[in-house]
Amino acid sequence: MTSKSLARTDALAAGVLVLWTGMVLGFAFLVAPLLFSVLPSRDVAGHIAGRVVTRLDFMAWAAFLLALGLAIFPRWLQEIRDPEGVGPMRLWTAAALVALLMCFTSQFIVSPGLGRIRARMDGPVEALAKDHPDRVAYQKAHGISRQLMFVRLILALALAAGVAVLPKENPPASGDVKA
């Protein structure tokens, strides 16, 4: 692949990550506060917000996988042959894999846990006593969910910026001598 083609795929990868970041920020700073201030019940607002977060989780999978494919696929054979060990491509890949692990954790561990806790409740979270085990468990899981979203947000921005330092040209073959 030419360096111009790599620059294009890198820009597309960065764009996908920034787009997902914008969706998360739009939800966190515009939609969620609006839901909780306008809707008559925090329970209804939380239910809607939870459904939006589920969709953002699906979009995170798509964004991180697409960015990973766009940035790695054209370079992976070259990187395997690189004798220098850890380079920007391997570090970028590790960060993308960590983001995907966080997607997995959020989607298949934390969100279902929140759902199970909500299913045990007879009414809104706020109706339970502050020290009720279900309320405490819900708040803890909700906090973990927020932290996972925040860390993925930071990783998305770092990966989008990190695309700029990925190699844009083919490294010389083992026996080639630079003139």
Mean pLDDT by 10 residues, the chain (179 residues): 84 96 97 95 92 95 94 72 70 91 94 93 89 94 95 95 80 49
- pLDDT value, residue 17: 96
Distance CA 97, CA 72 (A): 12
- pLDDT value, residue 179: 44
Contact between 54 and 68 under an 8 Å Cβ cutoff? The reply is no
User: Closest by alpha carbon to 78, among 68, 67, 88?
Assistant: 88
Which residue has tokens 């977060």? 53
- pLDDT value, residue 170: 58
Phi, psi of 72 (to 5 degrees): -90, -45
- pLDDT value, residue 83: 66
Contact between 168 and 3 under an 8 Å Cβ cutoff? The reply is yes
DSSP codes joined into one string, 41-93: -HHHHHHHHHHHHHHHHHHHHHHHHHHHHHHHTTTHHHHHT-TT-S-HHHHHH
